[in-house]
């Protein structure tokens, strides 16, 4: 079982992840992880923090001569903006954030105690962990990519930039839709036999766990609900060269809770960034008087970056399901099992 935990606060010393369940013998090039960390920082509409941070990973455990030992791998990314103990307290909870419910739940009156961990800064180590899962999957020809489908309802890249500029000028924010594609996945990852083994359910959980993601669909998704079965289901064909294949891919590579060897296509809907330069109304946590929500340095829109995080979370799920099917101890033996598939 491939699993990982993360730790760290947005303005704490560092962010950390421990990944457990990778096989021995996998060569890890830190540059590949750093490339994905860089991609997570890109995209039109990002805020000031992206200029401060140039994230790079340090691998603390689990490798010998850059190869995995099968033991837990610890990844660490330093926060260049380490000042958690100097930052002022915040008592004006932001609508759309974890601030208010988090303060009630954990007994804080200072929202900073909530937002330091609720911040999407945490996703930096998900991307590092996901990059390792991608390195593993690339040994088997599996590739993962993402793209922005729309921002604030605009699909054209020039119009997207204009819309982001408009939102910035209005001191407002935007969400959007991104798509993740997983290519060359063999058939039969996941299973139909039990709810928590279904690959679509596992992917949905992983993608929904990304901050601000409010909708996930696979293939034709919601649109399929309005069509006839004959317009939706992918007809099966066969050729000597390709083996079994589908004439279309409306299912987005997933049927019966399993991969069906077509490209897995997931689309995620991201709500607008919850910190507004022109803040919304709220209630001061201490005085109970109406105030404006707190304003933190913030992105206007981060859909492209969320797509990179979507790739990472998908990679972790697919790598886990792949190892369930083909083994998880020793990379050479997994390759042998994969050849026999
Ligand atoms: C890549 C990325 C960057 C984000 N940047 C910000 C930001 O700068 N400011 C902000 O208020 N929210 C930002 N968010 C969104 C918040 O993390 C999110 O809206 C908040 O945690 C509440 O989301 P939830 O209701 O899904 O938990 C970002 C999310 C992602 C995925």
CATH assignment at residue 178? 3.60.150.10
List strand residue ranges (DSSP E) for the chain, in order. 3-7, 14-20, 24-27, 57-61, 63-64, 67-69, 73-78, 143-151, 176-183, 213-218, 236-239, 243-246, 254-255, 258-259, 264-270, 281-283, 290-292
Going from the Cα of 58 to the center of ligand 1, the distance in angstroms, rounded, reads: 25
pLDDT score at 50: 60
Closest CA to 75 of 91, 61, 85, 63: 61
pLDDT score at 333: 97
Q: Which domain holds residue 82?
A: 3-339
CA-299 nearest atom, ligand 1: 8
Say which DSSP state 159 is in. H
Closest-CA residue, ligand 1 atom 9, reads: 298
- Quick check: CB of 12 below 6 Å from ligand 1? no
- Quick check: CB of 273 below 6 Å from ligand 1? yes
3-class DSSP assignment, residue 78: strand
Enter the tokens of residue 291.
Answer: 């105030």
Cα separation, 122 vs 8, in Å, equals 7
pLDDT tens column, 4-59: 999 999 999 999 999 999 999 999 999 999 999 999 999 999 986 666 668 999 99
Count structural domains, the chain.
1
Closest-CA residue, ligand 1 atom 20, reads: 97
Cα separation, 72 vs 66, in Å, equals 14
Dihedral of CA 182/184/187/191: which sign?
negative
CA-119 nearest atom, ligand 1: 17
Most ligand 1 atoms within 8 A of CB, residue of 90, 174, 207, 211 to mutate:
211
pTM of the model as a whole: 0.97
Going from the Cα of 324 to the center of ligand 1, the distance in angstroms, rounded, reads: 32
pLDDT score at 48: 67
Most ligand 1 atoms within 8 A of CB, residue of 302, 303, 310 to mutate:
302
- Quick check: CB of 210 below 6 Å from ligand 1? yes
How far does the chain reach from its first CA to its final CA, in angstroms? Answer: 20
How confident is the chain (341 residues) per 10-residue block, as mean pLDDT?
Answer: 97 98 98 97 83 86 98 97 95 97 98 97 98 98 98 97 96 98 98 98 98 98 98 97 95 98 98 96 97 92 98 98 97 95 80
pLDDT score at 341: 80
Closest-CA residue, ligand 1 atom 23, reads: 212
């Amino acid at each position: 079982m491939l699993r990982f935990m993360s730790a760290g606060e947005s303005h704490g010393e560092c962010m950390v992840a421990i990944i457990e369940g990778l096989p021995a013998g996998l060569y890890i090039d830190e540059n590949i992880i750093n490339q994905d960390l860089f991609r997570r920082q890109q995209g039109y509409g990002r805020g000031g923090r992206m200029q401060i941070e140039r994230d790079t990973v340090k691998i603390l455990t689990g490798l010998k001569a850059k190869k995995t030992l099968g033991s837990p791998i610890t990844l660490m990314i330093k926060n260049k903006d380490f000042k958690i103990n100097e930052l002022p307290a915040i008592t004006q909870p932001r609508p759309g954030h974890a601030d208010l419910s988090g303060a009630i739940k954990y007994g804080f009156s200072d929202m900073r105690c909530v937002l330091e961990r609720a911040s999407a800064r945490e996703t930096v180590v998900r991307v590092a962990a996901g990059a390792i899962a991608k390195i593993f999957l690339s040994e088997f020809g599996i590739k993962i990519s993402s793209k922005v489908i729309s921002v604030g309802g605009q699909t054209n890249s020039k119009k997207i930039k204009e819309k982001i500029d408009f939102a910035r000028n209005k001191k407002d924010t935007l969400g959007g839709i991104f798509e993740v594609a997983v290519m060359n996945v063999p058939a039969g990852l996941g299973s139909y036999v039990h709810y928590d083994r279904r690959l679509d359910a596992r992917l949905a959980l992983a993608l929904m766990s990304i901050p601000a993601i409010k909708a996930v669909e696979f293939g034709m998704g919601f649109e399929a609900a309005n069509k006839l079965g004959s317009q939706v289901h992918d007809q099966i064909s066969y050729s000597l060269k390709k083996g079994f294949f589908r004439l279309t891919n409306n299912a987005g590579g997933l049927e019966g809770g399993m991969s069906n060897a077509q490209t897995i296509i997931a689309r995620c809907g991201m709500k607008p960034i919850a910190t507004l330069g022109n803040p919304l109304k709220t209630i001061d946590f201490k005085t109970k008087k109406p105030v404006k929500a707190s304003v933190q340095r913030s992105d206007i829109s981060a859909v492209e970056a969320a797509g990179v995080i979507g790739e990472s979370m998908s990679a972790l799920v697919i790598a886990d399901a792949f190892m369930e099917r083909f083994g998880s101890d020793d990379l050479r033996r997994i390759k042998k099992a994969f050849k026999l598939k």
